[in-house]
Structures are given as structure tokens and as C-alpha cells.
Amino acid sequence: MIIGAKIIRREKVSSTNSVAAALLSTGVVVEGTVIIAAEQSEGKGQKGNRWESEPGKNLTISIILYPTFLRPDKQFYLSKTISLAIIDTLRSFCSDLSIKWPNDIYVRNDKIAGILIESSLSGDIIESCVAGIGLNVNQTRFISNAPNPVSLKSITGHDHDLQGILKILCSECDKWYNRLRDDELELIEKSYIRYMYKFGEQHLFESSGNVFSGTIRGVDEQGKLLIENAEGKILSFAFREVDFTHSEYPSR
């Protein structure tokens, strides 16, 4: 196992992804190195959002990888593998898990984890990758304007051992990363589709200020979301180009 073989612990950082990037800039870091912090002052989320995490309550980690075997046009498979690793980590604790494109993990209609992957490319090679994971474990009060956060404690009613869950998460990430390295893309794709949030269901989406009805049909190799509209046409959307309408989130 390479992921988690070396763990760097910090009490407080701006973000674990920033620490990982700084380490990479100083030279080669052992692949699979995990940076974990009890507190992040500027935790990163998708779309430039801030990831809220109460100090000492959750898992906020970054994993350093060197996926030079993966073509840049297939780098979304990194997101798929990390998403599936989180799903397998959580299956022992809760059910109704899904992956909301592009990289949020849901329990029913609530968000329990998020992923931020930052890659460094050189021509047709992915030189390095930092996979940031935020997993809500023991936090029960959320003060940001995020519409639907949830944690393991909120679901189960009791505290969970952060180090125990970290050990499981590292093991699952290692398992799925090895499957990616072994070119098991079909297995990864089928597993991702199986857990895809609202897959095959008709819902309202918003894009460029327009609301339309459509059905999620999958994700292409570049990571674009495929939605079939009411006329039967398959539309593809990159990050930030489409989202579920706000009506998808029930009031709390």
C-alpha cells in the first residue's frame, strides 16, 4: 500500500492542498504521501468556494500522486477513483450514498464529502496530482451558506474515530488507485455510474440562466456531464456550466 504509508500531520494550515503543492515545489515527495490537518483557515472547495470544517471534528486531507500512466484527457478518472474510494469508506457507516457530479459525495440529498483535485501537466503527461478530500465526520453545526451539509455523527448519532476512518480511507484510495493504474477503466466507469446522483431520473437543471428538464445519462471521458433534454438530445456540460436547480435542495 502506497497511499497513507507516509502521513504528514499539521495542527493548522491554510489548506492541505496548498501544503502539498509547497512540498512538491521543493522536490520529489514519496507517492501516496498524505497531508492531514486538524484545522484549515482557507480550506478549498470547488468553484472557488471555501470548505467549512470545525477544527478537530472532520477529516481534511490531501494525497500526493504521480499518475504519469494516465493521459491528460482522461484525468477525470482520478476524480472517479477518489469518489469511489470515499463511497467504499462510508458504506460501513451509512447507506443511500451517491456521487453528485463532478465530485461531491451525498447521503440521500445531503453532502457529506467533497473532492478537489489539482493536477500539474507537462505536455501529454500528468506529472503530479494533489487529491484533496474533505469528509464531515463529527461536526453537527454548520454555519456557512452551504445548502445541505451532513456528517456521519448527524446520521448515526454518535462520534466516530477520525484515525480509524482515515486508515480505511487510505486503504480504499489505494485500492481504487491501483485499479486505475491497472487500466481497469470499464470497472471504474460502471461503478461510478452505479453511484451517480440522480442517474436516469428526470430533473430540472440550470445553465446560463436557463432552466430545463433533463435526464442524466453519464459522464464522458473528459468529465463532462451528459444530460438528455426533453427533445431527446444529449447535451454535454463542463464544470460550472450546469447545476441542479435550487429546488432540488429541500429546506432544512
Query: Where do the structural domains in the chain lie, given as residue ranges?
Result: 7-194, 202-248
Name the CATH code of domain 202-248 (choices 3.20.20.60, 1.10.1660.10, 3.40.1280.10, 2.30.30.100): 2.30.30.100
Q: Give the contacts of 80 (CB within 8 A, at least 6 positions apart).
A: 188, 189, 192
pLDDT of residue 250: 46
The reply to whether domains 7-194 and 202-248 share a CATH topology is: no
pLDDT of residue 49: 54
Is the CATH code 3.30.930.10 the one for domain 7-194? yes
Burial environment of residue 16 by CB neighbours within 10 A (0 to 12, 13 to 18, 19 or more): buried
Q: How far apart are CA 77 and CA 242, in angstroms?
A: 20
Q: How far apart are CA 192 and CA 190, in angstroms?
A: 5
Cα–Cα–Cα angle for 48, 206, 223, nearest 5°?
Answer: 60
Q: How far apart are CA 121 and CA 67, in angstroms?
A: 10
- Cβ atoms < 10 Å from Cβ of 113: 28
Do 97 and 66 meet the contact criterion of CB atoms below 8 Å apart? no
Q: How far apart are CA 130 and CA 35, in angstroms?
A: 10
Do 86 and 3 meet the contact criterion of CB atoms below 8 Å apart? no
For the chain, the farthest-separated pair of C-alpha atoms sits apart, in whole angstroms, at 53
Peptide bond into 147 cis (omega under 30): no
Cross-strand pairs, 216: 199, 227
pTM for this model (two decimals):
0.92
The per-residue pLDDT string of the chain (252 residues; one tens digit each, 9 = 90 and over) reads: 899 999 999 999 999 999 999 999 998 899 999 999 999 886 555 445 556 778 899 999 999 999 999 999 999 999 999 999 999 999 999 999 999 999 999 999 999 999 999 999 998 999 999 999 999 999 998 887 777 999 999 999 999 999 999 999 999 999 999 999 999 999 999 999 999 999 999 999 999 999 999 999 999 989 999 999 999 999 999 999 999 886 554 433
pLDDT of residue 147: 77
pLDDT of residue 43: 57
H helices present in 51-149, as ranges:
76-90
